[in-house]
Structure 1
Amino acid sequence: MSNAPVHHCPALFLSACSSGQGKTTLVAALARHHRRQGRRVRVFKIGPDFLDPMIHARASGAEVEPLDLWMVGETACKAKLHAAAGASDLILVEGAMGLFDGTPSGADLAACFGLPVAALIDARGMGQTFGALALGLASYRPGLRFAGVAANQVASARHAEMIAAGMPATVPFLGALPRLAEAALPSRHLGLVQAAEIADLERRLDAAAERIADSALARLPEPVAFHAPAALEPPPRLLAGRRIAVARDAAFSFLYADNLRLLEALGAELVFFSPLADAGVEADAVYLPGGYPELHLDRLAANQAMHRALRAHVEAGRPLYAECGGMLYLLERLVGKDGDAARLAALLPGEGRMQQRLAGLGMQALGGLRGHSFHHSTMQGAPAPAAFGTRQRDGAEGEPFYRHGSIRASYLHLYFPSSPREAAALFLPDAGGAAGVMAP
């Protein structure tokens, strides 16, 4: 048992009846509102996500970490919440999809840690029927700590009255939120536009905070007791003395900070480089994360010096690990949604093509590593896979994992702390003796 003290901190889990209800804007508004009141706010995001946390980090002024009972694990989630509670005045957790969607669901996590749940429902085109949906959310899982329901996208005072009139007395009504056109967050095919690309993001966040300041949701919630997990053993220093170059720029930004911390805990020295702007890279291993290479085809194609540097790296037998967008950059050719095409690094055989619809989605494991797939592209002419991921939902075969010389690549976004030894193996030329699909 841990001897760490129990920390008490106000906390709220923001969920909804489905995706697209406005959760991210509301959580960002609440984070900015409380930050403007002088409070230290920590925001967490349920499940795998890179884009929403960028927004919340700007809104709260603090790093945003993932929580997920399967990918991150209950013990690590417990540790994250306990640490945040000891250093914060408020914890906000944004759910994913609907409250009860997925296994485990957001409701499972809220129940596990005793988080009060506030649900958001987009009320456009709806009157008293809103109350029936609210009652269903509140009563579907007895025992869940349910704080109430808020109506979003409410058109007028009369519309708010209709919604309130249909609310059951047993379900707390947290108020009607107006349509916030001036605070809307722009999106594209993989979700929200990256925070760094929204020129007036600060204005939008402040506007959203001002519009919800008088709502019941903006009140400081009751404290929750957060207990510390048992102490964990530090990871073995399998990467001691190794220098890993991590791509990080507008084209490659889908990075879990937890992944970088784990690599450092394994002993690695991290340096960062830009495939868009830099002329070279020199390291023992290279990490190409996901992102938006399809939005930067011309610049990526034009940077021939970087192509040559990466080719020299691979020809020297040094590991290069690439995931999703990073893997697309290694292909011979990438075709965008509008048919524009570019020859890229040409270190991995095949061609990538962006699709109008989602081509891969869901939690998967690769050996002991856990992660997720979310992409709008397909590949043709790739080498034969060395292994396949395993879908968390049904155990079926998932995304291919490729080994091509010293390149290891997949569509999967892996969460390294889920299996530190296998994560280290991705960046070792001989896999360091580690077992599993990462070994040569």
Structure 2
Amino acid sequence: MTAVHCPALFLTAPSSGEGKTTITAALARYFRDQGKVVRVFKTGPDYLDPQILAQASGQDVEQLDLWMAGENYCRQKLYEAARSADLILVEGAMGMFDGEPSSADLAARFNIPMAIVMNVKGMAQTAAALAMGLAGYRSDIRIAGLIANNCGTERHAQLIRDALPDSLPLLATLARDPEIALPERHLGLVQAAEVTDELEHCFKLGAEWIKGPLAEPNALTELPAAVEFTPAELPEVAPRLSGKRIAIARDQAFSFIYDANVRLLREMGAELSFFSPLADTQLPEADALWLPGGYPELHARALSENSAMRQQLQAFHAEGKPILAECGGFLYCLEQLTDLEGNTYPMTALLQGQGAMRGKRGCQGMQTAMLPEGEVQAHAHHRSRSAGTADPIAHGRRQRHPAPGEAIYRDRGLTASYLHLFFASNPEAIAALFGAESAVFQSAAS
């Protein structure tokens, strides 16, 4: 396979909250409205931003993370997108140089030019100084220019424009418009499926915002420069789950599901079905279950009142069949859950212990799940705690800290933890976790 070329732009920022997702979504919708095929990628292990960006672009959104997925995986996904897309957008995570690896590391590895998104409210020439510092911090990154977000007036825009050197162009100045802001909640953005109409309104305004009155001159309305993308050699996926039926919980309470994980299960031969612990009273016919993360705390009462589903899950667990429960799914497996208002509801009691929300305090970070089946790259992001649980069989290994990571529990066929697993980092271990036999375990992706 030969290299392909596709226009590409990496949206980054000095910190979270500068408007990266809003601008990435607006750009995706703007070019989609022009008839372009726009493929969007999100840096890091985020679940919510990709839902928003998928609706804006009309295309599936993949996560790219050098630590979680490995360089070859990221390279191949970019190459596959470039073969059919008119434009590739990558939204960074946190600040430009935050994390190991960082957004800048990812952009540098694949030579994608970076546009610095900055909320310029309350500053003018200082915005130029900050952008120049970011642009000059490393020599191995390509900077396309600055996007000045939340600009007040044309005079405000001109002050920033005049303070920038010719080597760092002002790509666009985007006016303040609170109607375009995306809805949020305690773990980030609201799930796209909950606010589809509201998001469509934001996207429509966003596409107009991109070419708005403060945006002259405006490089964002033209396709960026083409980038060369090359293929990678990935190991062939063996049909280790051929004939296995896996049922996946998916509704407003359980929606933190990587498309890449679903795709891998299918590539391994699994037959997948989906069910709603909120609405369904009967489990699909299945050999294994996956209870992913989500927002069970927002639906604790409804989950509790669906006693038929709780009984179905208890019977499935009693048979010793494989169940993977991640974060919100783990909370659902405990005896009870206390929501943000202090109300406590019974859950499935597949595991002893109680879960409780704890407001703004929480845990997040990259970890390796040290499973008996093998090491799987993962991450944690939660604002709850568990108590009264049995002894764990293992803990996650933190990326950069010696302290034990999230506890991993096992009871019969149930494996439960706060960790969200990235299946492609070790397909053999995932196959064994869902009931495949005689797996030859491999280490996590490099």
Shorter-chain TM-score category? over 0.9
2:341 to 329, 338, 341: 338
Q: Give 2:239's aligned residue.
A: 237
Q: Which amino acid is 2:201 matched to?
A: R
Q: Give 1:218's aligned residue.
A: 221
The two structures have a TM-score, normalised by structure 1, of 0.95
2:393 to 386, 393, 403: 386
Q: Is the Cα–Cα contact under 8 Å of residues 250 and 275 in structure 2 kept in the other structure?
A: yes
1:400 to 407, 419, 439: 407
1:263 to 257, 262, 265: 265
2:202 to 198, 204, 208: 204
- Deviation of the 1:395 alpha carbon: 4.7
Q: Give 2:3's aligned residue.
A: 6
Q: Give 1:118's aligned residue.
A: 115
Partners of 1:352 and 1:30 lie apart in 2 by 40
Partners of 2:221 and 2:243 lie apart in 1 by 49
Note the 1:137-176 alignment, pairs <5 A: 137-176=134-173
The answer to which of 363-372 and 18-27 deviates more is 363-372
Q: Give 2:89's aligned residue.
A: 92
Q: Is the Cα–Cα contact under 8 Å of residues 426 and 442 in structure 2 kept in the other structure?
A: no
Partners of 1:122 and 1:168 lie apart in 2 by 19
Q: Give 1:58's aligned residue.
A: 55
Partners of 1:269 and 1:120 lie apart in 2 by 42
- Deviation of the 1:427 alpha carbon: 1.2
- Deviation of the 1:143 alpha carbon: 3.0
Q: Is the Cα–Cα contact under 8 Å of residues 46 and 94 in structure 1 kept in the other structure?
A: yes
Q: Which amino acid is 2:203 matched to?
A: L
Q: Give 2:423's aligned residue.
A: 416
Partners of 1:433 and 1:225 lie apart in 2 by 37
**Alignment RMSD:** 1.5
- Deviation of the 1:168 alpha carbon: 2.9
Q: Using a 3 Å threshold, how does the CA distance of structure 1 residues 433 and 6 change in structure 2: closer, same or farther?
A: closer
Q: Is the Cα–Cα contact under 8 Å of residues 429 and 439 in structure 2 kept in the other structure?
A: no
Q: Which amino acid is 2:358 matched to?
A: Q
2:79 to 78, 82, 95: 82
1:375 to 369, 382, 405: 382
Note the 1:29-68 alignment, pairs <5 A: 29-68=26-65
1:272 to 274, 277, 280: 274
- Deviation of the 1:278 alpha carbon: 0.6
1:19 to 16, 19, 42: 16
% identical equivalent positions: 52
Unmatched runs of 5 consecutive residues or more in structure 1: none
Q: Give 2:132's aligned residue.
A: 135
Q: Using a 3 Å threshold, how does the CA distance of structure 1 residues 436 and 225 change in structure 2: closer, same or farther?
A: closer
Partners of 1:432 and 1:301 lie apart in 2 by 38
Secondary structure class of the residue paired with 2:236: coil
Partners of 1:435 and 1:206 lie apart in 2 by 48
Partners of 2:441 and 2:239 lie apart in 1 by 16
Secondary structure class of the residue paired with 2:256: coil
2:294 to 291, 294, 305: 291
Q: Give 1:182's aligned residue.
A: 179
The two structures have a TM-score, normalised by structure 2, of 0.94
Q: Which amino acid is 1:276 matched to?
A: L
Secondary structure class of the residue paired with 2:337: strand
- Deviation of the 1:240 alpha carbon: 1.7
Partners of 2:59 and 2:92 lie apart in 1 by 18
1:301 is aligned to 2:308 = no
Alignment size in residue pairs = 432
Q: Give 2:360's aligned residue.
A: 357
Partners of 2:344 and 2:318 lie apart in 1 by 26
- Deviation of the 1:136 alpha carbon: 0.4
1:72 to 35, 50, 69: 69
Q: Is the Cα–Cα contact under 8 Å of residues 253 and 299 in structure 2 kept in the other structure?
A: yes
Partners of 1:396 and 1:141 lie apart in 2 by 31
Q: Is the Cα–Cα contact under 8 Å of residues 330 and 346 in structure 1 kept in the other structure?
A: yes
Unmatched runs of 5 consecutive residues or more in structure 2: none
